[in-house]
Amino acid sequence: MLTCAGATGPAEALLGAIEHGVVGVRGERIVFVGEAAALPAGAIGPGTQLVDARGGFVGPGLIDPHTHVVFAGERADEFELRCQGKSYLQIAQAGGGIVRTVRATQDATVAQLVELALPRLRRLFRQGVTCVEVKTGYGLSVDAELRMLDAIAELRRVQPVRLVSTLLPLHALPKSYVDRRAEFVALMRDELLPRAAARGDVTFCDAFVEQSAFTHEETRDVLGKAKALGFKLRLHVDQLTANQGAQLAAELGAVSADHLEQIDAAGISALKAAGVVPVLAPTSTLFAKVRPFAPGRALSDAGLGVALCTNCNPGSSNSENVSLAMGLACLENGLTPAEAYLGFTRWAAAAIADPERGRLQVGGPADLAVYAAPSYRELPYHLGMNDVRAVVCRGRLTDFEA
Ligand code: NIG
């Protein structure tokens, strides 16, 4: 069993391995974590449901800390163009990219958005993911952004995976605002933010800091107000071009800085000094054909816990594959398998500012994954495959082999 709650030391120590471990659950909480031999007498009664991992390992439910799973439409033709040599930016400049998904999402009803997102969440759940961060950012009008939040709220009601929502008002500039940037920024800041804050169900506010998206100044303006309204912050930075975005994330006191393919040494130091969690999205580096892959090794060597995500979205990462993300993190970002596993557990929990998740501890949420594989090493190694046998989410068992 891996608790991911080891106190200090290298990644392997942080995994907190317990041989012949037992985790006891009552209701939605964990009530025992330890060796089988330490289980108190009488802990197992006639009503106890026993689950034997049968030589596989057990760990915390995984967390996907950066996704865009609520969207309508698809962009398979853009994938084809990239295969023919067009870049993600060239496609966006020619009228494709985020704004295309915005059009499709604006045309969808809340019920349609929910129907479309459900199978994506189911695919994540099937791989042991029990908590997912979900962004807006494909609405980009006050009403459409609020409808995306309604869809996330409805998804919370109809399926078990816990959802952490992020408002992403600065994702792309809608075409109709090309000559009125300041108006769009003011609309998001003055009308959308207060209405989203008043709902009480949105944790984070986010921005895409990029030449083709929003500037430092625009981001400071909107996210500064978001912070004052009580949102925690996270940022898409240094993805397609180097833009000192990591430094901006540090300056704004963001919880996480995501992507980071183009981060420099000063950016790494800034994240470390400010305690910002780096979130890498290796499937989107691959899928969007961005190079280089983010410097996971240097981030980890600087003493940062590196979180990983699928970044599931129709444009830059049409994938819900956790094993592939872990495998690429090892092969291309330079992480070890232990670091990659912590990237979807302990460090992913830090990236959503919810440190009680992503680890097994008494009093913590009863969210677990039971693997057929004997070791976490199989997850990146069995590339793109799924070795999850069962999931416990909110204390309820789903046995995929039953
Ligand atoms: O996280 N970087 C910006 N946003 C998404 C891409 C969304 C899209 O292409 O639709 C991302 O990669």
Q: CA of 302: how far to CAs of 229, 257, 270, in Å?
A: 32, 15, 11
Atom of ligand 1 nearest to the CA of 71: 10
Reply yes or no on whether the pLDDT at 402 is more than 90.
Answer: no
Supply the DSSP symbol for 30. E
Question: Residue 245 pairs with which residues in a beta bridge?
Answer: none
Q: Is the CB of 319 under 6 A from ligand 1?
A: no
The average confidence (pLDDT) of the chain is 97
Please choose from 88, 100, 316, 318 the residue to mutate so as to test ligand 1's pocket, defined by most ligand atoms within 8 A of CB: 316
Distance (Å, whole) CA 389 – CA 401: 6
Distance (Å, whole) CA 25 – CA 393: 11
pLDDT digits (tens, 9 = 90+) for 149-172: 999 999 999 999 999 999 999 999
Extract the tokens encoding 37.
């031999």
Q: CA of 228: how far to CAs of 22, 196, 211, 237, in Å?
A: 44, 13, 26, 21
Reply yes or no on whether the pLDDT at 316 is more than 90.
Answer: yes
Reply yes or no on whether the pLDDT at 401 is more than 90.
Answer: yes
Question: Is the peptide bond prior to 292 cis by the omega test (within 30 degrees of 0)?
Answer: yes
Query: Residue 67 Cα, ligand 1 centroid: separation in angstroms?
Result: 9
pTM: 0.98
Q: Where are the alpha helices (DSSP H) in 243-397?
A: 245-252, 265-274, 282-287, 296-301, 322-331, 337-343, 346-351, 378-381
Q: How far apart are the first and last CA of the chain?
A: 22
| Percent of the chain whose pLDDT exceeds 70 | 100
Reply yes or no on whether the pLDDT at 352 is more than 90.
Answer: yes
Give the mean model confidence (pLDDT) for residues 113-129. Answer: 98
Q: Is the CB of 100 under 6 A from ligand 1?
A: no
Which CATH number fits the domain 11-59+359-399, given the four candidates 2.30.40.10, 3.40.50.720, 1.10.4000.10, 3.40.50.80? Answer: 2.30.40.10
Q: Is the CB of 285 under 6 A from ligand 1?
A: no
Q: Is the CB of 313 under 6 A from ligand 1?
A: yes
Of 342, 328, 242, the C-alpha closest to 281 is 328
pLDDT digits (tens, 9 = 90+) for 89-100: 999 999 999 999
Give domain limits for the chain.
11-59+359-399, 62-351
Distance (Å, whole) CA 174 – CA 227: 24
Closest residue to atom 1 of ligand 1, CA basis: 311
pLDDT band for position 257 (cuts 50, 70, 90): very high
Give the mean model confidence (pLDDT) for residues 143-147. Answer: 98
Report the length, in residues, of the chain: 402
Distance (Å, whole) CA 204 – CA 346: 19
Q: Which fold has domain 62-351?
A: TIM Barrel (3.20.20)
Atom of ligand 1 nearest to the CA of 315: 9
Q: Is the CB of 284 under 6 A from ligand 1?
A: yes
DSSP characters over 172-237: ---GGGTT-HHHHHHHIIIIIHHHHHHHS---EEEEEBSTTSB-HHHHHHHHHHHHHTT-EEEEEE
Q: Is the CB of 71 under 6 A from ligand 1?
A: no
Q: Is the CB of 236 under 6 A from ligand 1?
A: yes
Residue 38 CB coordination number (10 Å): 12
pLDDT digits (tens, 9 = 90+) for 359-372: 999 999 999 999 99
Give the mean model confidence (pLDDT) for residues 112-124. Answer: 98
pLDDT digits (tens, 9 = 90+) for 177-196: 999 999 999 999 999 999 99
Q: Give the full edge-to-edge strand order of the sheet including 307-308.
A: 62-64, 129-135, 162-170, 204-208, 232-237, 256-259, 277-280, 307-308
Q: How many Cα atoms within 13 Å fall on the side-chain side of residue 86?
A: 15
Q: What is the pLDDT of residue 140?
A: 95
Q: What angle do CA 144, 104, 63 make, to 5 degrees?
A: 75
pLDDT digits (tens, 9 = 90+) for 26-47: 999 999 999 999 999 999 999 9
Q: What are phi and psi of 64, to 5 degrees?
A: -105, 105
Q: What is the pLDDT of residue 284?
A: 98
